[in-house]
Structure 1
Amino acid sequence: MTPILAYIHKRTLPEDKFKARRLRYQTARYVVYDEVLYKRGFNQPLLRYVDEEEGNYILREVHEGICGNHSGGCSLVMKVLRQGYYWSTMKEGAVNFVRACDRCQRFANYSSMPVTLLTPMVSPWPFAMFGIPYKLVSDNGKQFDSKELRQHHTLKAKLEERKGNWPEELPKVMWSYNTTLRSTTGETPFMLTYGYEAIVPVEVGSGSLRRDRYKEEDAEVSQRLHLDLLEETKENSQLRLAAYQQRATRYYNKKVKGQLLRVGDLVLRKVMPNTKNPQHGVFGANWKGPYKIKAWKGTYHLEDMEGKLVPRAWNAEHLQKYYQ
């Protein structure tokens, strides 16, 4: 018998004064009809009060039964209320039930929110300390089809119809990049390397002040003077780069929706486009698993439920925690 029924039938109150006062206040909204406890609702006259065990059955039937549509937690609890049922922990129970639903987890949409904090790299010290990487992990994406390349489209614009000749056009694109002022450092890459701005082809064709008055002796002296100031120029560019990366990091980290994954946790991994079953079409699952996290070394190493190691490492953005 619930404390509310005990108070209605036998006027039994807890010994604690605060709990007794709270129970009297709550009982004012309840009524017993044909030996069944109901709560007076705002949207409906009476809501049948059930225990948590019966509430779990109601959630399962409404969520995944013959009339269920695998709705979210808030939608599910509203639907149960409209059916005329109530228990004290129904909202929390509905959220936990939906979170642990196997089908909802496998067919969940991909999240565009980052799951890990941004780690900016100011200098190439990892390569100087550890050498060139043994291998690079790729997501099997398209070549020259990143967001940045689509935005600037330098190589794409130069290739036009000669899509197969990109190796011949690449040096021209790199020359264009190295002689363009970068907003991150405030200098051109050519300037940071040689201490002096390069003469671009337009100066050769149309002329410029420094080209028209060029003298080899004066140019050598000027270059040596600029080389003496190059260290200061590089230091200032590093400060500007660090400030830019701090701003970018703050902006990026505001959108991070982290998830805590530990060794031994069960996870689902994202189904990549190249591994999807073409026969499933748009109705195929977006997540595959569950798998168990075996180790973490900057990336996650997984094994299936039978203990077989899953090939290659996985980033956190390709995983989501699996609830049972």
Structure 2
Amino acid sequence: MGGKAPISFVSHQDNTNIRNNETPFCMMFGTEAVLPIEVTQPTARVEGYDATTNADSVCLNKDLLEEKRHTAHSHNLQNKQCVSCFYNARIKARNLQLGDWVMKEVIPLPTALRPTWEGPYQIIEVVSPDTFYLKNKDGDMA
């Protein structure tokens, strides 16, 4: 084999969660998985394996698993809150008034490739801030 190592040896993606720095396998079982490539091409982690200390470490990891899951859940909630704040900061509220042209949502939502909105409709009467009487472009009530 020449000077370059095969691509599978050079790069490895373990789907580590950016927020909590844990892999899905670790979040489920409380310990990291050993990849098949690490068995054939030993790494420092595999070479440093000791069966007696490993049993103690596995027990400790299982004890701390609930705490890891709680921390990951807290990070996920915090991330959702940040995304929500980012989105809501860019929303501009617009009050609809008499005479505005709007699109109406199709309920129940259509399947396949049918549109989810229909219209345009003109607001002809405001019943409450979020309730309107509409008419289509032909003048028929909707």
Q: Cα gap change, 1:258/1:181 in structure 2, threshold over 3 Å: closer, same or farther?
A: same
Aligned residue identity for 1:322: Y
Aligned residue runs from structure 1 range 37-56, under 5 A:
none
Query: Which of the two has higher C-alpha Rg?
Result: 1
Task: Provide the TM-score with structure 2 as the length reference.
Answer: 0.55
Aligned residue runs from structure 1 range 243-282, under 5 A:
243-256=78-91, 268=103
Q: Relative contact order (C-alpha < 8 Å, sep 6+): which is higher?
A: 1
Matched, 1:322 2:84: no
Aligned residue runs from structure 1 range 74-223, under 5 A:
179-223=14-58
Task: Provide the TM-score with structure 1 as the length reference.
Answer: 0.27
The separation in 1 between residues aligned to 2:37 and 2:93, in whole angstroms, is 50
The separation in 2 between residues aligned to 1:222 and 1:235, in whole angstroms, is 20
The DSSP-based 3-state class of the residue aligned with 2:31 is coil
Report Cα offsets for 1:264-310 as digits up to 9, x if no partner: xx9646xxxxxxxxxxxxxxxxxxxxxxx7xxxxxx51xxxxxxxxx
The DSSP-based 3-state class of the residue aligned with 2:27 is helix
Indicate which of 61, 71, 86 corresponds to 1:236.
71
Identity of aligned residues (%): 25
Query: Which runs of no fewer than 5 residues in structure 1 stay unpaired?
Result: 1-175, 270-292, 294-299, 302-311
Q: Which has the higher helix share?
A: 1
Deviation at 1:260, TM superposition (A): 7.7
Aligned residue identity for 1:236: T
Report Cα offsets for 1:160-179 as digits up to 9, x if no partner: xxxxxxxxxxxxxxxx87x3
Contact 2:19 2:75 in 1 (8 A): yes
Query: Which runs of no fewer than 5 residues in structure 2 stay unpaired?
Result: 1-11, 123-134, 136-142
How many residue pairs end up in the alignment? 103
Deviation at 1:200, TM superposition (A): 2.2
Indicate which of 34, 49, 59 corresponds to 1:224.
59
The separation in 2 between residues aligned to 1:195 and 1:187, in whole angstroms, is 10
Q: Which has the higher strand share?
A: 2
Contact 1:186 1:240 in 2 (8 A): no
The separation in 2 between residues aligned to 1:194 and 1:256, in whole angstroms, is 41
Aligned residue for 2:126? Answer: none
Aligned residue for 1:313? Answer: 109
